[in-house]
A and B are shown apart, each in its own frame.
Chain A
Amino acid sequence: AILLTQSPSSVTASVGDSVTITCRASQIIHRSLAWYQQKAGKGPKVLIYDASSLERGVPSRFSGRGSGTNFTLTISSLQPGDFATYFCQQYNSYPPITFGQGTRLEIK
């Protein structure tokens, strides 16, 4: 199974800041990567698919980049509702699909 490693595991930032989360795959997955946001007590919400395509209704301050094995999710101009946990997911090779371990974004 393809292993996805996210970094950092947690990050602290302020409203208005910009943050970047990295997801590294153990094998080449081309652009077969999605990003999710999960708030406490809720199911995840998809933000990005195909590494950089924004899901309908997701604010443009969320952006994804990368291909191959290295990917990033950048959130610019952080808003209070952005403080949550973020996961990456690969779908290049399945089964199984796999998720990163998550990055917790906390408010400073």
Chain B
Amino acid sequence: EVQLLESGGDLVQPGGSLRLSCEASGFTFNDYAMTWVRQAPGKGLEWVSTISGSGGSKYYGDSVNGRFIISRDNSKNTVYLQMSSLRAEDTAVYYCTKDRIRYAVTMMGFDPWGQGTLVTVSS
């Protein structure tokens, strides 16, 4: 069974930093691009960042570009999101998800999704 388990969410002050982790199991991790998507309380979904299977290609949404860094450790089947200069508007549940298609960054649908980890930015 394919599983994604996020961790690392916490309460952090504005301007602070946080690292999220997503541990994957049940599939050949390095064959798939991985993506972070966030959802502010009561709001819709916002794409945050995507990394290719090898880690050689990375993509960021405009609202996080320059502040967040996505990375992966294929030996640990884990993808990370290093978040810095956090703002109140970064408050959200952060989901980790996997590209449906193997061997390429397609973003042609994501499946499955983890249960999410809550990041709260507040003083």
- A positions within 8 Å CB-CB of B: 1, 32, 34, 36, 42-46, 49-50, 55, 87, 89, 91, 94-102
Contact = CB atoms under 8 A, between A and B. Distances in A.
B11 to A, nearest CB: 19
A95 B48 CA distance: 10
A106 B100 CA distance: 29
Nearest to A94: B107
Contact of A49 (B46, B61, B109, B113): B109
Interface of B: 44-47, 50, 59-62, 95, 97, 100, 106-116
Given A44-B45, A49-B100, A32 B111 contact: no
A44 B60 contact: no
A87 B43 CA distance: 11
Question: Is chain A's binding surface mostly helix, strand, loop or mixed?
Answer: loop
Nearest to A32: B108
A43 B97 CA distance: 9
Contacts of B110: 34, 44, 46, 89
Contacts of A87: 44-45
A89 to B, nearest CB: 7
A87 B100 CA distance: 17
A43 B60 contact: no
A-B CB proximity, top 7 nearest: A43-B113, A49-B109, A34-B109, A99-B45, A46-B111, A91-B107, A95-B59
Given A1-B62, A45-B113, 7 more contacts: A34-B109, A43-B115, A89-B109, A91-B106, A94-B107, A97-B107, A102-B44
Considering residues B47, B97, B100, which has the most beta carbons from chain A within 10 angstroms of its beta carbon? Answer: B47
Contacts of B95: 43-44
Nearest to A47: B109
